[in-house]
Structure 1
Amino acid sequence: MPQRYSLIAIILHWAIAALLAFQIAVGWALEDLGARGFSLYQLHKSVGMTILALTLVRIAVRYWKPRPAKLEGGWQGALASGVHVGLYAFMLGAPLTGWALVSTAKVKVPTLLFGILPLPHLPLPAASHALAENGHGLLAWIGIALFLLHVAGALRHHFLMGDGLIWRMVPGRSAVLLVALPALILGGFVAGRAILPAPQAKPAPAPMVQEADNEVEAANVAQAEAVNAAAPAENAAANIMQAATEQPVGPPPAWTVQPGGHIGFSVGNDGEAIKGSFAKWTAAIVMDPDHPDSADIRVTIDMASASVGDAYKDGMLPGDEFFGVAAHPTATFVAKGAEATGPNRYRASGTLTLKGVSKPQAIRFTLSGKNGTAKDATRKVSGSATIARQSFGVGNGDSSTGLTPQVALTFDFTAKRKE
């Protein structure tokens, strides 16, 4: 009866095989998923680093524990040895080239292994990105070929030669394990396919020439900016009615924003929505609600405080593809004057400066609460804005292709009148 491998070697063998099958199933689909595959891309990296770690342990065990002697010589034995060496090279090379690929990518996507352990980028030049990318893809195909050769060799020994070689990787010559352990590989592949998002339905092609398609896309990008640039005509009557016949008495009151306010944002992403918020921001507000033309509003947002609740994506937001925090740490909205659009409803047209670009921007908001005395007057403020992100260069890279042109901004807070 052939000598068996050690139990730890057997466990590592089947665990790595199942993880490789999972990686193949997921890796095939990643390129076509675009932004929808972001979370799977992070899982793919985490599993890849796990394979790298287990392979290093497997190599150590290979020289620590005695290995069974070869059962076959000649060119068949040389081929089997070559396949084994190739598989080890693949199990080391694929994760390493993948690590190099993300380390040299233009968009620096942070890696947290399984959302917990940060993986630093390798100190490699950006010029090596193409080499890493091509190498990773080539190794994947080579690995699949070696994987199939290894399986074919095991089946040959078990069914054609009947030498019992396959029992060296099955504890206790258990027939149940002989079926269950290879089934782990199939299970890994099925699991990888099962977690892929469902394919999106493709809309029927519209009978348009390419120039018309480009025009529609340009219109979508400009839609939010056009809304900000001009007031709707239906507000004209309300604005005229709101104008007071008498002049305000004294300067307009200033307001202090109370703790607990919220500024949030939402953007579409391939049919889904990415929602986030800014943890740090300040607002200086001067306004008499009865005379909105007296308003003087300035809001400053700390862009480094942006979060969407996902460590991977949060790590991307400060980069040049999105907010460019290193060069532009804050965004500001400034408006002089506002106009009433209905009872306790207002619109302020001002200027938004984001990522070094200044564009016209409008916000709409409502006030609730009573004036009270100067000591206890408080107002609850809630409102929204639509921002054309591409006008400010936000989302200008490959990972942003699935994002909608418009970003919905919402805010709510309580302001107390200063004495």
Structure 2
Amino acid sequence: MQSTNSFSSYGSIAKTFHWLTALLIFTALPLGWVADNLAHAVLHSATAPTELEIARAARVFSLHKTVGVTVFFVALARILWAFTQTKPGLLNADNKPEAFAAETVHWLLYGSLVLVPLTGWIHHAATEGFAPILWPFGQNLPFVPKSTAVAEVTGVLHWLFMWVLVVSLVLHVAGALKHHIVDKDGTLRRMLPGLSDVPEPPHQTHSLIPAVAALVVWGVVVTGGWATGKLTPNVGEAPDVQLTEVQSEWQVQNGTLSITISQLNSPVTGSFSDWTAAITFDEPTEPGPAGSVDVTIAISSLSLGTVTDQAMGPDFFDNARFPTAQFKADLYKTENRYEARGPLTIRDKSIDVVLPFSLDLQGDTATMAGTIELNRLEFDVGTSQPTEDSLGFTVAVSVELTAARGQ
């Protein structure tokens, strides 16, 4: 059997690409459906999910993503190979409407095989947490920022294009069966392994009109998603608790307050967008007391990728009952650094902690950076996850800020 295409038949390489793609698609689609249901049960459960439930959902989602990325690369290779080959003619080219429909569906399939996994991959790269791709090349994509808006839009596009793919697949399979059972021609046989005795296709020319029709279909789908509001990012909503500005000797000009957890042995980083700090500080000439700080954090302002909603739940931060966290500390200068010492209150637990930090003082402007590691179980966070199989005990909290002395 020849490896390349001819006007009347497909070569072995094209057939291999075809059936490999089919195998991957019919693996990825059910995996995605099962994974979505498992993840929904975990993230929106009325009770705290068990470690086994979380691990199962993450495992299936990781398999779905890994197969999806494989589809992307196989589809690209298949398309590139097709561009180098003779395109076998349609056996029903004389039936213009049917031939037009067949070529349009082929364009929809080719495009969907790239768009569906690509939008899913971008969605994965733009967010944090839950189910890594099972490969050693990292989880991020160049030029794709960690962005809730990007993740939401590409997530919806992934869902919309998935339905285009499903409908195209149904039409493609139905067309193949129609050729084989009703028309009894060799359309399906010439894509099967081995040699097939099929008639020579009639003379025909191929135009770009079916490709344009496929573009119109994708345009209608995207426009419909935009018109219904599905493609409008749901960002910028006011948090449940909005903190008011505090009066302080030092006013925070800018800063970040972030946390990093370990989920399934992979780091997931998020940050709080709403927090205040009332700071008093006078640089001592010798090690000793240097001032105080009172930090209040709006828990609902946390963005933690795909597990943000879960983090707000009763088994974790329980934002409904404990909308804020607080750190009231005295500031000290030591021999070689600075420390903030005092109680940190999360949920209904207060524990004395020491936050070491560096300080760069330039006149009336101070820049600090510090990191502390906490044990989530000491604050009754995630007690339904008593081991580190799915969620690590250690939570790294990092703060960086620049403050100016008030006049």
Which bin holds the TM-score, normalised by the shorter protein? Answer: 0.3 to 0.5
- Structure having the higher Rg: 1
Question: If each structure's helix is expressed as a fraction of its own residues, which one has the higher value?
Answer: 1
TM-score, structure 2 normalization: 0.46
TM-score, structure 1 normalization: 0.45
